[in-house]
């Protein structure tokens, strides 16, 4: 799952929950899934190291 997918689903879940439509069972299940998605996103950010690498120079042609 990409960061975007996780974030989009998380925000959809929040919207659904805030509409107050889902019943308790469903709300709890949604919240659980939302928390998982939140952790996926946070972990994805934490995993990025922040590095700048140089690709070795192309062999000269011509």
Binding residues for another protein, rule: CB under 8 A, are 2-4, 7, 10-11, 13-14, 16-18, 20, 22-24, 26-28, 30-31, 34-35, 38, 41-42, 44-45, 48-55, 57-58, 61-62
Q: How far is the CB of 39 from another protein (least distance, A)?
A: 9
The answer to whether 8 and 21 are in contact (CB under 8 A) is no
User: Which residues lie closer than 8 Å to 27 by C-beta, 6 or more apart?
Assistant: 17
Q: How far is the CB of 13 from another protein (least distance, A)?
A: 7
The answer to whether 10 and 49 are in contact (CB under 8 A) is no
Q: Which two tokens stand for residue 20?
A: 């107050």
Q: How far is the CB of 1 from another protein (least distance, A)?
A: 12
């Amino acid at each position: 799952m990409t960061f975007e997918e996780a974030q989009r689903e998380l925000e959809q879940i929040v919207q659904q929950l805030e509409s107050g439509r889902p019943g308790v069972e469903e709300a709890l299940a949604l919240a659980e899934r939302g928390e998982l998605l939140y952790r996926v996103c946070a972990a994805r950010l934490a995993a990025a190291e922040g590095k700048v690498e140089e690709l070795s120079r192309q062999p000269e042609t011509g």
